[in-house]
Chain A
Amino acid sequence: MPAALLIPAGLGLLFLVLPLAGLLIRAPWTTLLERLTEPGALTALRLSVQTATLATALCLLLGVPLAWVLARVEFPGRRLVRALVTVPLVLPPVVGGVALLLVFGRRGLLGGWLDSTFGITLPFTTTGVVLAESFVAMPFLVIAVEGSLRAADHRYEEAAATLGASRWTTFTHVTLPLVAPGLAAGAVLCWARALGEFGATITFAGNYPGRTQTMPLAVYLALETDLESAIVLSLVLLVVSVGILVALRERWMTTA
């Protein structure tokens, strides 16, 4: 085996693993439980889980039909639509936050109308957090589900039709179960991305403890005041991420 490949490979691995090891080494293990149960940490954790879950639900509600349309319906401009869907994947999240402000902000294109007509304010609210997270995380779900739909044999849908199933029943009773593994993987990826969201959230929803301050925001804030607290919060996010990875590996990726 050539050293020219092995050495950079080893360095690369080290580069990826070392910071995580650092996190574990510097963690205040003795006071960990204490720190975790601090009200600020718990509040941020609860808010993060809640908003990420709501964002995932929103993404499923809108993203699955979008994936279905992209996978099953022939229409002009489909490639353009697919490209548009993936934009938030490559867009810096801060830019996403700014864009959300311009549309849903109090003086935004839709925000002003929402405010004056329904009295709904989105920026700097928990709903705003959910929107920011959904904006960034939805492409993960759409891409995963669309891929599964394309890979699924659409003749099962024809078989369902010959048995008298309407298009909608076919979708709920045949198509969705067939793509369930892809759907679950997409939802988990989506949830993980939403949980870690920082840039769009802080830009669009701000950083109010208990209302819009999610875990990543709390970590960033704690870094300036209380390093140990930042480490503990980071550790929690690390554990959740690894947990997701393991779940994905064992339950979906091997069977898919």
Chain B
Amino acid sequence: MSDRLLDARLVVDRGVFRLDVPLRVAPGEVVALLGPNGAGKTTALRALAGLHPLTDGHVTLDEVDLDRPATGGWVPTERRSIGVVFQDYLLFPHLSALDNVAFGPRRHGVERRAARATAREWLGRVGLDAQAQRRPRQLSGGQAQRVALARALAVAPSLLLLDEPLAALDARTRLDTRAELHRHLSAHAGATVLVTHDPLDALALADRLVIVEGGRVVQEGDGPSVTARPRTDYVARLVGLNLYRGRADGHGVRVSPELTLTVADRLDGEAFVAFRPAAVALHPARPEGSPRNTWAGTVADVQRHGDNVRVQLDGPIGVAADVTPAAAAQLRLVPGQKVWVAVKATETHAYPATG
């Protein structure tokens, strides 16, 4: 087996929007395309499925060109070795759960009885033996999701595609389904590409994250490296970090004309500095002593955030701070109020912006 079952460069021009995403997935690997709405994730998925032709680039699966505009290579959707779990599942409403799952094997030339046996096996694997004869509208959201997964996997696809697989579920069902989905994705021998805007889903399900913004890949890597070293504001917000880009010179990173942050790491050149909102302390007067970064800020917004209070501050740099409700009350934080902001150098994490 090659180390990349799927090799693609997805280029789709849609008027002013251009998607250009290189993507390589090894057998058994789960890659999440993570990005905000409108980033082009679903277009990428549709291009892989052959539901949207490429403008340029290629989709090569198992060394066969499925789509390559330059040479005119094209394999239509129904002849691609793929399985798709759609966002709202699209289970055929006129067929039972069993026949929905048997639909794929039947179309692949399997005789009816054998196709049903395969379907029953898959329904068993997702824990739905008892619901085999139910119509989709008689299934709960979580059950429909599992039928959709079984239907996609029943044809043993080389490439499994999932579009926001958990988005349609309520919070409670989501946790259970996520764990179960992870189990099935780990067991899938082929390549898996899943599209989501939820970082938790991506981190829980994928071996590797590809972060797409405005049709481009802005960051790529495994979960820990992406969450520890965000490279765009979008990723920083997703993982809940304050992120700044600036010029590093030893232990100082100049993040705005008026502010140079002292950091624990030592580096030079273009760099990112990240720190947690909880690492930000607020003071009514300028704090003395200790190796801290301090600057004057103005409260822009105060909101409840879990057990704490999240304070957005303007100043030389915009920053989010998490303080306890007691501290917030003591400081009498209201929008427009001036406070001193302090961040310890040891609480920051600095890393090069290049490479």
Using CB atoms and an 8 Å cutoff, list the residues of chain A in contact with chain B.
153, 155-156, 158-166, 169, 173-174, 177-178, 180
Residues of B within 8 A of A158 (CB): 49, 51, 77, 90
Tell me the nearest residue of chain B to A166, going by C-beta: B78
Residues of A within 8 A of B84 (CB): 159, 162
Tell me the nearest residue of chain A to B82, going by C-beta: A162
Residues of A within 8 A of B103 (CB): 160, 163, 165, 173
Q: How many A-B pairs with Cβ below 8 Å?
A: 58
User: Nearest chain B CB to A72's CB is how many angstroms away?
Assistant: 15
| Given contacts A162-B84, A164-B108, A164-B155, A180 and B94 within 8 Å (CB-CB) | yes
Using CB atoms and an 8 Å cutoff, list the residues of chain B in contact with chain A.
49-51, 76-80, 82-84, 86, 90, 92-95, 103-104, 107-108, 151-152, 155
Tell me the nearest residue of chain A to B86, going by C-beta: A159
Residues of B within 8 A of A169 (CB): 107
Residues of A within 8 A of B86 (CB): 155, 159
A142 and B160 alpha carbons, distance in the complex (Å): 39
A47 and B108 alpha carbons, distance in the complex (Å): 46
Residues of A within 8 A of B78 (CB): 161-166
User: Nearest chain B CB to A173's CB is how many angstroms away?
Assistant: 8
Residues of A within 8 A of B94 (CB): 177-178, 180
Contact A164 B104 (CB under 8 A): yes
A95 and B83 alpha carbons, distance in the complex (Å): 55
| Given contacts A155-B86, A169-B107, A161 and B51 within 8 Å (CB-CB) | yes
A206 and B80 alpha carbons, distance in the complex (Å): 57
Q: Which of A153, A163, A166 contacts B104 (CB 8 A)?
A: A163
Contact B104 A156 (CB under 8 A): no
User: Nearest chain A CB to B48's CB is how many angstroms away?
Assistant: 10
A59 and B62 alpha carbons, distance in the complex (Å): 47
Q: Which of A153, A160, A166, A180 has the most CB of B within 10 A?
A: A160
Residues of A within 8 A of B49 (CB): 158, 162
A177 and B84 alpha carbons, distance in the complex (Å): 22
User: Nearest chain B CB to A182's CB is how many angstroms away?
Assistant: 13
Q: Which of A156, A165, A177, A180 contacts B90 (CB 8 A)?
A: A156
Contact B92 A164 (CB under 8 A): no
A153 and B155 alpha carbons, distance in the complex (Å): 23
User: Nearest chain A CB to B111's CB is how many angstroms away?
Assistant: 15
The list of the 4 closest CB pairs from A to B, nearest first, reads: A164-B107, A163-B104, A161-B77, A177-B94
Tell me the nearest residue of chain B to A158, going by C-beta: B51
Tell me the nearest residue of chain B to A159, going by C-beta: B90
Contact B151 A163 (CB under 8 A): yes
Contact A163 B107 (CB under 8 A): yes
Residues of B within 8 A of A159 (CB): 84, 86, 90, 92
